[in-house]
Amino acid sequence: MKKATLFAAFLSCAALSRGVCASGFLAAEENASGLGVAYAGAAASADNVGTLYYNPAGLTQLSGAQLSVGLVGAQSRYEFDNDGSVGLVGGEGGQAGQWRGLPHVYASWPVNADLSLGLGISSPYSLDMEYDDDWLGRDMGARAQLSSLNINPALAYRISDRVSVGLGLNYQQIRLKTALNAMRDSDTDGAWGWNAGALFTLSPEMRLGLAYRSGMEYRLEADAASVLQAFPGVDARGRFKTPDVFSLSVWQQISERWEAMGDISWVNWERVDGYDHGSWRLSWGAAYAYNERWKSKFGIAYDRSPIRAADRAVLLPDAHRLWLAVGGQYRFGKYATLDFGYAYQRAREARIDQAQGAGLRLRGNYDASGHVIGVQYNQGF
């Protein structure tokens, strides 16, 4: 009866899960519980069923059936400062970054003491950029909106008290809308991928996680003058790829009240058209338990962008960024918790020098920052 109730609740929440942004257009925010520690230790913490996305092997650490429902909201601020543009007329575009909402839902069921099944719905890729109507670079890009829906069934198996492994299958649908001045185009496609991980319990107080998530390839219906090609990563045939992601995480219970976690992730952007190198993300976080009910969290992270100055485009003016995060957790009795968090992102100044036709050139600098807020409810059964 409890499993049937959990399944019904999961299906009702799944209908909400449609679509911010870490390096490039890849979103780190696939649950809200990790936001307070800047997603440090995401592949090793395994403190709720949201671990399914970051490392499915973590499902073996959960007791009983589990449900997590959460929402992350983010606003990125991109403001262009014109500095030497040639042959272009108009304004500087205003604040181009838009608010984005990202719901997510995860559930897991133990089959026996060693085998667990799970299902997750999230949005790994997200972007929303829109300039003012008089934007001087409107012929290079006026708007880009990328959203995704990822459905991820997974299983995890405990090989021994120290080693667990996990494997997931992913069906992901993306939708890309772009605009150049008055011309607009959009298309939707789906693709299959997979994710896997291993979790090593080095001691009762320490876990190490290794995880991999595959890239995917989409075919967008682009004509010869496709507006979609203005978005970095879409080639002349309308082919669009996403990168592979490798992660190494550690979690440690330092004392009765303190826990610490760290993470390093490598994103293989080289498999994506228009990118000639990968990027990495480094994060560290800690949590302090005041008592049995309240826990505080804080973290710091550095995202290295895959976009070099020579390749920067107006629809994705990305740059290296620093995260500063805080959050907390409140426990409702033995089986339920509420996590919440906030992160401020500050990006380095991003220089752009983009040509458009004969004698036209956009030159200037982007000032970028962002705010991320999230809340997540976790229920055990």
Question: pLDDT tens across 26-79, in order?
Answer: 667 788 999 999 999 999 999 999 999 999 999 999 999 999 999 999 888 899
DSSP 343-362: EEEEEPPEEEEEE-STT-EE
Least Cα distance to 203 among 264, 247, 161 occurs for 161
Give the whole-angstrom CA distance, residue 187 versus residue 237. Answer: 13
Question: pLDDT tens across 272-311, in order?
Answer: 777 777 889 999 999 999 999 999 999 999 998 888 877 7
Give the whole-angstrom CA distance, residue 57 versus residue 212. Answer: 11
> What does DSSP assign to residue 316?
B
Give the whole-angstrom CA distance, residue 1 versus residue 216. Answer: 38
Give the whole-angstrom CA distance, residue 121 versus residue 52. Answer: 10
Write b or e for each residue in 211-231: b if 16 or more Cβ atoms lie within 10 A of its Cβ, otherwise e: bebbbbebebebeeebbbbbb
Q: pTM of whole model > 0.85?
A: yes
Average pLDDT over residues 178-199: 92
Tell me what pLDDT residue 34 has: 94
CATH of the domain at 145: 2.40.160.60
Residue 313's domain comprises 2-380
Structural domain tally of the chain? 1
Please check the confidence at residue 236 and state whether its pLDDT lies above 80: no
> What six digits make up the tokens of 170?
């992913």
Please check the confidence at residue 349 and state whether its pLDDT lies above 50: yes
Largest CA distance in the chain: 70
DSSP, collapsed to helix, strand or coil, labels residue 12 as helix
Tell me what pLDDT residue 206 has: 97
Distant-in-sequence, close-in-space partners of 353: CB < 8 Å, separation ≥ 6 = 309, 310, 312, 361, 362, 363
Give the whole-angstrom CA distance, residue 221 versus residue 84. Answer: 36
Element (H, E) at 109: strand 99-110
